[in-house]
Chain A
C-alpha cells in the first residue's frame, strides 16, 4: 500500500466530504471528516507532525457504533498518518455507509489489509466497496510516495518531544505566561480538579462536568483531552469514561514529569 503524505490526507478528507454529501449522508461521517481536518490542521501548525492518536480515535469511533476493534499486541499506539489509520477510517466509513452489522476487525500480519468479520459472514472478508476503491485509487495515483515520506516531519527536532507529549507546550507556556512557579500551581490545581471531576463523572455523567474539565484541559494545553471532552459533552456516552481517564492520566503524568 502506498503511503500518503500529509497533503494527500487533506485531499482525502476533501474527497470524502464530497463523496459523503453525494452518496451517504450519514451525519457521523461528517464528524470523521471534521476530525481529520482538525488533525491535519493541527499537524500543520505543530510543524508537520501527526499527533493524532489513531488507536484512541478508532476505539472511540468503534465504541460509538458498537464496533469492536482488536489490535495485535504492540500495535496499540498507531498514530495519525499511519496507513492503519486510513484503514480504520475506511472500515468505519464502509461499515456505516453500507449498513453492515457491527463487525469485529482484525488486521493482516503485515498490516496492509484490513479484514472484517461480520456476524452475517463468519469468514474473514477483505474490505471492498466503491468508497474503498475510490480511496485506494487516490492512493495508487500517487507514485513514489514512501513510508519515510509519510512519516516525514519538517521539524525533526520537535518530533520526539511532540510524539511523546499529550500537551501542547506552547499553549501551556502561554497560559502560564512562562512563569515556572505558576505552572506548578496550575498543574497541581488541574490534577486535583480533574481527579475530582472524573470521580464525579463516574457517579453522574453530566455535560456540565465534561464542559468544565474541557476548559481546564485546554488551559493546560491538553488539546487532545479537551477534544475528547468536547465530543463527550455532545454525545454523553458514559462507556467512554475509561478513555477520558486514560488520557487524563497521560496528561497529568506528562505535566508532573515536566515539573520534576
Chain B
C-alpha cells in the first residue's frame, strides 16, 4: 500500500522537476533570437517600428507589407511575436488575427495590433479578433518597446511557441 508520505514525496519531486524545466526553458529562451514579424504596408511606419524594436536585444525583425504575404510566411515559419497594422493590402488585419487565433498551430502567437483607425471601439474589435495588445497610432516608440518587452517576458514564462 502506498503511504501518504510517499505520495507527497513524489509530488514534491514532480513539482521540483517541473520548476527546473521551466527555469531551463526560460534561460534558453532569453538567449535565443526572438523572431518578430511586423506587418505594416507603409514604409515610413514600418521603418519607425523596426527602429524602435531594434532597441531590444536578441530580436530578429522581419517586415511584411501585405496581410496575405505575412500569413503565408507564418504558415511556413512561425514567429514568436507578431506586430501588425489593421488596414493592409490583400488581407485585413482583423481577418489575419482571426485566422491565426482560429488555427491551433498559430493561436499561441502573441499579437500586438496598432492602428490609426479612429473608431472608438477599434481596440475592442481588435481584442475580439484575438489581439493581445493594441496601440493607437501615432504611438511613442518607448511605449511600443515596453509592450514588446512585456510580451517577451510572458513568452519566456510560458516557453517558446512550438515549431
Q: Which residues of A contact B (CB under 8 A)?
A: 171, 174-175, 177, 179, 182, 185-186, 189-190, 192-193, 208, 211-216, 218-220, 230
Contacts and interface: CB of A to CB of B under 8 A. Distances in A.
Contacts of B51: 177, 179, 182, 186
A175 B47 CA distance: 10
Contact of B137 (A208, A219, A220): A219
A189 B116 contact: no
The 5 tightest CB contacts between A and B, nearest first, are A216-B44, A218-B138, A215-B116, A190-B44, A212-B42
Q: Which of B44, B55, B87, B116 has the most CB of A within 10 A?
A: B44
Interface in B46-78: 47-48, 51-52, 55
The binding surface of chain A is classed by DSSP as helix
A175 B137 CA distance: 11
A49 to B, nearest CB: 21
A59 to B, nearest CB: 23
Nearest to B138: A218
A214 to B, nearest CB: 6
Given A174-B141, A189-B47, A215 B52 contact: no
A8 B52 CA distance: 41
A83 to B, nearest CB: 31
A212 B41 contact: yes
| Interface size, B (range) | 20 to 34
Contacts of B142: 177
B116 A218 contact: yes
A218 to B, nearest CB: 4
B43 interface: yes
Given A182-B51, A219-B44, A177 B138 contact: no
Given A214-B116, A218-B116, A171 B138 contact: yes
B77 to A, nearest CB: 27
A175 B87 contact: no
A210 to B, nearest CB: 10
A212 B45 CA distance: 9
Contacts of A193: 42-44
A186 B118 contact: no
B121 interface: no
Contacts of B117: 211
B138 A219 contact: yes
Given A175-B141, A219-B137, A230 B44 contact: no
A174 B33 CA distance: 27
A216 B45 contact: yes
Given A174-B140, A175-B141, A216-B42, A186 B47 contact: yes
